Structure 1
Amino acid sequence: MDNRTIVEHNSQNTLSNIWLNIQKQWAQHWDALTFLIIVTAKVLYYGKEISPEYFNPIALQGPVVASILPIVAIGYLFKNNGRKNFFYTVNIIISLILFADTLYYRYFKDVISMGAIKDSFLLKSVSSSVLALIKSKDILYFLDIILLIPLMKIMKNIERKEFKFRLRFMVFIFIFSLGVGFNGKYIYKLSKEQPLLIKTMSNKLYLTKVLGNINFHAIDSYNYITNKISRSKKVPEARIEEVQSFLKEKGETKGINFAGEAEGKNLIVIQVEALQSFVVNKKINGEEITPNLNKWINKSMYFDNFFYQVAGGNTSDAEFMVNNSLYPAASGAAYYQYSGNTLNSLPKALKEKGYNTAAFHGYIEGFWNRNVMYNTEGFDNFHGEHSFELNDRVGLGLSDESFFNQSFEKIKELKEPFYSFMVTLSSHFPYEDAEGYGSFNVGEYENTLLGDYLRGIHYTDKQLGMFLDKIEKDGLADDSIILIYGDHSAIPKEYAEELYKFEGATNPTDLDWYQYQKVPMLIHFPKDEHKSVNNTYSGQMDVYPTLANLFNLPNKYMLGQDILNSTEDRVIFRNGSFTNGEIFYVSWSNQYYDIASGNVISETEELKKIKQKVLQELEYSDDILDYDLIKTYENKTQ
């Protein structure tokens, strides 16, 4: 045999040995490898189902595999037969979760969260039409489970080496560490790109698109459990009584001005996306930015020193404060963290007086956990995206024009008296829908974020004006209180220079920034009564107490104040900043400003006491929410 023949023979033997070794390793680990491949394929398939336009299998594959590896690692703690059964069982469970999430997405355009599962309200509306949501292709989630049965029988006859627990544990540690390490990298990257997303769980769908379904449910479960644990700690009885005394003292302030004036009237509240005061009564090239809002301000009671007070929950925080008069969560979103709490909400209080209550928002029902929280707050109905005909899109979703037109018809069907709570959408950051917004000459601000915003808010103002004109023409305004306010900032601080230029501010300070964070708030009375300007420094926390006075509702468990009967100007922000109308304390710089002069002033003992009271009030609000104290107080009175 020559050398060439020997080399070829050795090569064949080497290849044969490699192939035999591959077969041997496959036989040894076939269950783990099969599980990894099949589940990865299913999760990627689900990713395509919920995001066909932006599905990127290459980008999603990494976090999906990383999320499955810890499960694979757990399987190696079992002996061969137990591992096979473990993977088969977990495969069935994951398949059922993906199937349920798929049906839920088709109805709500969202992903099932722990809060959603806890609240039976979520699945009531789906259960009646679940068969209509199922498609023949859904069999792909379960087809492998059937096909694996003969494979499992075949593989049962193939001998596998049974490793000792020590070796299996080492394999567990290695694979688990690998999965957690890579997964941590993907989660950390997302937390840097969108710092509040993972804490607030505001956009569950986006989180799932980026990290995969398994990661979403792991993060969701972690947040839910940690929130439960933090709130399970027993509160000292003395603290419970201290908070209750504070609430009672605030509730004893009874309004004299306008007391019960709106009793029995309908209430229409409109929260306008990213509406800020700096656009009110302003023109560009001789054209008003918000002509309709300006018109209604002149025939309403207008509050020109009204601030948004939102925190990590952004839009949802504004809704939460207006309907509950409790401060936002210290971190994350109250709509997500406290959806299982007992709340003394505005819709609940009005329902007790015979009102029909309904919330309207033309976006995904599960966004900001609204479909859970609206039920908790006592709304009879929530008209979300699936309740509307999606016949026109501007910005993120259903256009404000279509939203107002369709909502008007739904409102007309409500039995009076009613409370309708409406949240607009089209003027949402980043204001990029130039075609949808239509023509509005923003002049020198063309191709800037501010210019895009001005065009977007001009569009929304037009739709708001047409809706209000309909309400007025229909005669509904004659027997309704209409309240309109902005929810949060329009211009992020990174674009502050554009805002300062628009306002003509030179050498702006932190005080200037805060002063530009005002949002419009108006209350329109029938027949344009009480039209005036109220200069009281106030905020979103004060809306419910003010309405409680007007509608003669109990003033319980509220931390805001009735603006129409307040004895002091007062706005407290979640970060500890505050103002009393004369001084403004900015927490991030620990500086006090004199509002009249704009100068920094030194801290006095009196100012220090005010700051301590502010922090104490925020702590009381946290206690009320963290320990569900309203439920405790309500149980005591029963």
Structure 2
Amino acid sequence: MSIKMLVYGSQIQIQYFSYKRLYPKILASILVICGFGLIFKKRKRITFLYISSIVLTSLIFADLIYFQYFRDIISISILENGLLLGPVKSSVASLLKWQYFLLFIDIVLLPGIIFKLMIEKENTLKVRIISTVVVLAIGLGYSAKYVYKLSVEQPNLITTMYNRIYIAETLGNLDFHVLDVYNFAYRTIKKGTPLPIGKQNEIKHYFGDNNKNSEGILNGDGNGKNLIVIQVEALQQFVINKTLNGKEITPNLNAWIKKSAYFDNYFYQVSAGNTSDAELMTNNSLYPASQGAAAYMYCKNDFDSLPKMLEKKGYTSIALHGFRGDFWNRNIMNKAEGYDKFYSESSFKVDDVVGLGLSDKSFLNQSLNIIRNQKQPFFSFLVTLSSHYPFDDVKNYGNFNTSEYEGTLLGNYIKSIHYTDEQIGMFLKKLDDSGLTKDSIIVIYGDHYAIPKNQDKSLYKFLNIDKGNDLNWMELQKVPLIIHFPDNKNSGIYHAYSGEMDLYPTLSNLYNLSSKYMFGSDIFNTKDNLVVFRNGSFTDGKVFYLSQLDKYYDIKTGEAISENSKILNEKSLTQKELEYSDDILNHNLIKKFNKK
């Protein structure tokens, strides 16, 4: 088991992995399992340890597969949402590697050895008790020591679990899962315990004292205009204005960018909720849940969401997505966020299937007819589907030649996003022909990454990056944000560092909304913006802190730098915002704030 856990540790952190550093932590956790087993008589002890081996091996196996795609570790909250994997079985299958099944070799071979052990002489109860106490004391003592040391080095990490990878690579994945179970139980109890009034007031005053969304340029420019937002599945920035074999990958988006406000340093900030997290941030400017998907865990909360704020201005709000309504709990979450109607798969004629479901071509065409019939002013929120991982429906993506990348994940992704770009281009043209663009602000952005970390070499090669490093990889986790104004106003490239948390505050300023509880900033009016990620990483456009490495990098030079007072203040602010956002979700504080 120690060897298996070391192998797992090496998979989640290859560049800075140290067997010598991790092994004592893993051994301590294994000793705890052994200690519990020693109290039993031989037959029961062997059965207990054998079953423990099967369970732990299966857990490592699942962790490896999950990490391949999500770059994260399975937690209790994620398992609560496990049914979400049902519609994407091909995604899971594509992540399997034959080497992973080697983990079970000892499970197969052990029974022959076990039967021989069962006939050996049995220990007395006294010996078993002493053995149990000694081994448990050693295992628990050292495990507690390592956990305490980590809590001192990284305050709040153990309680918030905001950086699961760092915990697992520091303590081993067995201790991580033990801490996860503990924190899940603690959060469940805490969720039912009212938050002290003093803490509630502290959080409420934070939004007033740190108001980053005061009136500025473009304030009210959207008044009376329709708002059309398109969240594009797995649209990453690296394909924008990129050519392959002399052909543009996203020609329609490239053309649209030239007559829009384009933000080229816009990061996705999703966590375990993936696409639903992007929807949460865009509609609420609240951080994703620390674990699991907020769309499931907090769908009964009150929100000061974008649809609710626009409703006060007389807007009708609709959400549209060509997949099942229960996926990511959209049929419930969209109601909680104030959408007047949610058009899901059952609302469309499924006449053309690409990838997981209704093709973007059919979805956007049918959505256009729905949008045209809306009473103005309206807010329409569309989520595309065809460019969903694993991008394996190549026969329906068209004939885009990816040359040397043909048949690879990257090559298939390029085909899929080229197809989606074509459909968006047709949609925008029809929207323009209908005259709606003259009275609408149109927003297009990507929800999350397309290329997982295990495909980094392929992406580096495609982008001509000789020696990619951790900073390079984080800088590639950008998605395009395009905001188009009537008559092509405010066109140009905006370089400010920003993220999905910032779109709602930006729209709030444009439409002069009365939104109060937003952690993001209006991109048009904020110079020194802090982009915070759910795992505790952050960047201010000059420095990038990578929490999984606990290192700071100068973005301009690419060199690692030391802490200073400014960076420490930003780190403290990062942790505070994540904590406050968790409190808001856990205790439904917006409802309480609005009552007061």
TM over 0.5: yes
Compute the displacement of 1:444 (Å).
1.4
Report whether the alignment pairs 1:355 with 2:315.
yes
Which amino acid in 2 is paired with 1:250? N
Matched residue SS, 1:302: strand
> Which residue number in structure 2 is paired with residue 344 of structure 1?
304
Distance 1:207 1:476, change over 3 A: closer
Report whether the alignment pairs 1:282 with 2:242.
yes
> Which residue number in structure 2 is paired with residue 199 of structure 1?
77
* CA contact 1:259–1:549 (8 Å) conserved in 2: yes
Report whether the alignment pairs 1:468 with 2:428.
yes
> Which residue number in structure 1 is paired with residue 406 of structure 2?
446
Distance 1:424 1:547, change over 3 A: same
Instruction: Give the Cα separation in 2 of the matches to 1:449 and 1:542.
Output: 31
| 1:514-556 CA-partner distances (Å, limit 9, x unpaired) | 1101100010001111111111000000000000000010131
> Which residue number in structure 2 is paired with residue 241 of structure 1?
201
Identity %: 50
Distance 1:191 1:229, change over 3 A: farther
Matched residue SS, 1:402: helix
* CA contact 2:76–2:184 (8 Å) conserved in 1: no
Instruction: Give the Cα separation in 2 of the matches to 1:278 and 1:526.
Output: 27
Matched residue SS, 2:228: strand
* CA contact 1:275–1:487 (8 Å) conserved in 2: yes
In the alignment, which of 436, 439, 445 is matched to residue 479 of structure 1? 439
Report whether the alignment pairs 1:607 with 2:567.
yes
Matched residue SS, 1:598: coil
Report whether the alignment pairs 1:547 with 2:510.
no
> Which residue number in structure 1 is paired with residue 476 of structure 2?
516
> Which residue number in structure 2 is paired with residue 458 of structure 1?
418
Matches within 5 A, 1:66-465: 193-194=65-66, 196=74, 199-200=77-78, 201-202=80-81, 204=83, 206=85, 229-251=189-211, 253-465=213-425
Compute the displacement of 1:193 (Å).
4.0
Instruction: Give the Cα separation in 1 of the matches to 2:312 and 2:74.
Output: 36
Which amino acid in 2 is paired with 1:622? D
Which amino acid in 1 is paired with 2:423? Q
Report whether the alignment pairs 1:621 with 2:581.
yes
Instruction: Give the Cα separation in 1 of the matches to 2:269 and 2:88.
Output: 30
Distance 1:350 1:227, change over 3 A: farther
Matched residue SS, 1:589: coil
| 1:460-495 CA-partner distances (Å, limit 9, x unpaired) | 000000000010010000000000000000100011
* CA contact 1:582–1:594 (8 Å) conserved in 2: yes
Instruction: Give the Cα separation in 2 of the matches to 1:197 and 1:464.
Output: 36
Instruction: Give the Cα separation in 1 of the matches to 2:585 and 2:468.
Output: 37
| 1:386-433 CA-partner distances (Å, limit 9, x unpaired) | 111110000111000000001001111111111000000000000001
Deviates more, 1:505-514 or 1:400-409: 505-514
| 1:343-383 CA-partner distances (Å, limit 9, x unpaired) | 11001111121111100000111111111100100101010
User: TM-score, normalization: structure 1?
Assistant: 0.67
* CA contact 1:349–1:553 (8 Å) conserved in 2: yes
* CA contact 2:212–2:522 (8 Å) conserved in 1: no
Report whether the alignment pairs 1:535 with 2:413.
no
Compute the displacement of 1:235 (Å).
1.1
| 1:557-603 CA-partner distances (Å, limit 9, x unpaired) | 00000011113132111111111111111100011111111111111
Matched residue SS, 1:354: coil
Instruction: Give the Cα separation in 1 of the matches to 2:82 and 2:360.
Output: 21
Q: Which has the larger Rg?
A: 1
Compute the displacement of 1:252 (Å).
6.7
Instruction: Give the Cα separation in 2 of the matches to 1:610 and 1:209.
Output: 38
Compute the displacement of 1:182 (Å).
9.5
What is the root-mean-square deviation in Å for CA atoms of aligned residues? 2.6
> Which residue number in structure 2 is paired with residue 590 of structure 1?
550
* CA contact 1:263–1:550 (8 Å) conserved in 2: yes
Instruction: Give the Cα separation in 1 of the matches to 2:322 and 2:242.
Output: 28
> Which residue number in structure 2 is paired with residue 561 of structure 1?
521
Instruction: Give the Cα separation in 1 of the matches to 2:201 and 2:432.
Output: 47
Instruction: Give the Cα separation in 1 of the matches to 2:285 and 2:476.
Output: 23
Matched residue SS, 2:545: strand
Matched residue SS, 1:359: strand
| 1:149-184 CA-partner distances (Å, limit 9, x unpaired) | xxxxxxxxxxxxxxxxxxxxxxxxxxxxx9999999
Compute the displacement of 1:251 (Å).
3.6
* CA contact 1:202–1:369 (8 Å) conserved in 2: no
* CA contact 2:304–2:515 (8 Å) conserved in 1: no
Distance 1:242 1:383, change over 3 A: same
Compute the displacement of 1:187 (Å).
8.1
Instruction: Give the Cα separation in 1 of the matches to 2:57 and 2:87.
Output: 16
| 1:296-324 CA-partner distances (Å, limit 9, x unpaired) | 00000000110000011111100100000
Instruction: Give the Cα separation in 2 of the matches to 1:228 and 1:631.
Output: 19
User: TM-score, normalization: structure 2?
Assistant: 0.72
Instruction: Give the Cα separation in 1 of the matches to 2:217 and 2:84.
Output: 46
Instruction: Give the Cα separation in 1 of the matches to 2:427 and 2:88.
Output: 36
| 1:429-454 CA-partner distances (Å, limit 9, x unpaired) | 00001111011001111121100000
Compute the displacement of 1:249 (Å).
2.3
Q: How many residues align?
A: 449
Which amino acid in 1 is paired with 2:214? K
Compute the displacement of 1:202 (Å).
4.5
Compute the displacement of 1:229 (Å).
3.8
Instruction: Give the Cα separation in 2 of the matches to 1:180 and 1:358.
Output: 50
Distance 1:188 1:516, change over 3 A: closer
Instruction: Give the Cα separation in 1 of the matches to 2:576 and 2:414.
Output: 39
Distance 1:248 1:426, change over 3 A: same
Matched residue SS, 1:574: coil
* CA contact 1:255–1:562 (8 Å) conserved in 2: no
Instruction: Give the Cα separation in 2 of the matches to 1:496 and 1:208.
Output: 26
Instruction: Give the Cα separation in 1 of the matches to 2:418 and 2:575.
Output: 38
Instruction: Give the Cα separation in 1 of the matches to 2:212 and 2:456.
Output: 42
Which amino acid in 2 is paired with 1:204? L
Instruction: Give the Cα separation in 1 of the matches to 2:588 and 2:325.
Output: 25
Instruction: Give the Cα separation in 2 of the matches to 1:545 and 1:197.
Output: 31
Instruction: Give the Cα separation in 1 of the matches to 2:572 and 2:308.
Output: 32
Where structure 1 has 5 or more consecutive residues not aligned to the other structure, the ranges are 1-177, 211-222
Compute the displacement of 1:227 (Å).
6.6
Distance 1:326 1:407, change over 3 A: same
Distance 1:519 1:252, change over 3 A: closer
Distance 1:548 1:208, change over 3 A: closer
